[in-house]
Amino acid sequence: MLRVVHIGLGRWGSVWCRDVLPHLESAGLAKTVAAVDTDVSSHGRAPAGVPCYTDLRDALRDHAADFVTVVVQPAFHEAVIDVALEHDVHILCEKPIADTMEACARVYRKVTAAGRKMAVTMSHRFDQDKHSLEAAVRGGDYGRLNYVVYRFTHNSRHVGDWGEFRYRIPDPLLVEGTVHHFDIVRALTRADAVTVYARTWNPPWSEFAGDSTALITVEMTNGTKVLYEGAKANASTMNGWGNDYIRAECENGTLELSRRRLRVLHGGAHDVPTADELPLLDTRSVWRNAWIAEQFCAWLRGGPEPPTTLADNLQCAALLFAAIESAHTGEPVKVQDYLAAHLEATSSS
């Protein structure tokens, strides 16, 4: 069985300790040998019997480990990954890779140079409903994909409605929410982004310090177009966490996912569309992060790469931070040029 040191016992880290780490152990994949958080008061959230530390170096000194799980705020990802690489362990990290494109590029360079394996947990793409939509699009029954419309709108305008640090950071919607949706869009279109144009803002009634609302257009490398609406300070939660609205306009059918219900619509020029419900796939006992963690463990044991390797997820990071660049400048950004420039800037790191 592989050995893992878990880093981060905050609100989301406690979900890992409840749902993901026990599953890995019961499945015979990985045993948690230590947990780390600088806040001693959070140590009670660790799995029962797991020793807790405030310093990752101490945990890795005392316990041999094959990999770490990084579930801390994005601004701390790079420093934690640096320590993991010092101890020659692999890395399974929460999204995004880091809190800036510069840091993402540095992490990519350092992990690649060290020869370690790293993947990023993009939980929503691996949820049952989104995976079912992806399978329907890819299955070919509805022809070629033309464009995607994505809506994620939420009423979490007051501090405490969402994780509190998100009310203090720049661009909270994009960094902490939209990054998941960009990953889903890449999976649906089977393409990377060419250009992105984003307009973001924060309405006066919002308690976020950074922009909580966005309208974004994306063009993918295969010509597919994407229209994205995201909001965290609306008056209602139409399509919040886990209940996204995604419409995939295909050649021979409109696939619509809304609040975990999937259906296909057809109709002529003057017809009211007919809608047929499509059952969600029921092929797994676990979804989301537990499934990603399973795939990561299999990779460490010589199996295939998971879909969200560091190299693949760098494209998600590039789309995310290019969208932020577009929002700040008011101009479209060429995503692949943006990524190449940041990789070039870190080539000697």
For the chain, the structural domain boundaries read: 2-124+288-309, 125-278
Spans of the chain, pLDDT less than 50: none
Supply φ then ψ for residue 15, to 5 degrees. Answer: -65, -40
Q: Which residues contact 11 (CB under 8 A, 6 or more apart)?
A: 163
What are the DSSP E strand ranges found in 44-101? 52-53, 67-70, 90-94
Report the CATH superfamily, name and number, of domain 125-278: Dihydrodipicolinate Reductase; domain 2 (3.30.360.10)
Question: Is there a contact between 188 and 199 (Cβ–Cβ < 8 Å)?
Answer: no
Q: What is the pLDDT of residue 267?
A: 87
| 3-class DSSP state of 247 | strand
CATH number of 2-124+288-309: 3.40.50.720
Q: What is the pLDDT of residue 268?
A: 80
Do the domains spanning 2-124+288-309 and 125-278 agree at the CATH topology level? no
- Tokens read off for 57: 């170096």
Q: What is the pLDDT of residue 349?
A: 55
| pTM: predicted TM-score of the whole model, two decimal places | 0.94
Beta-ladder partners of 70: 7, 93
pLDDT in tens, 127-140: 999 999 999 999 99
Q: Directed axis angle between helix 179-189 and helix 128-139, to 10°?
A: 30
Q: What is the pLDDT of residue 2?
A: 99
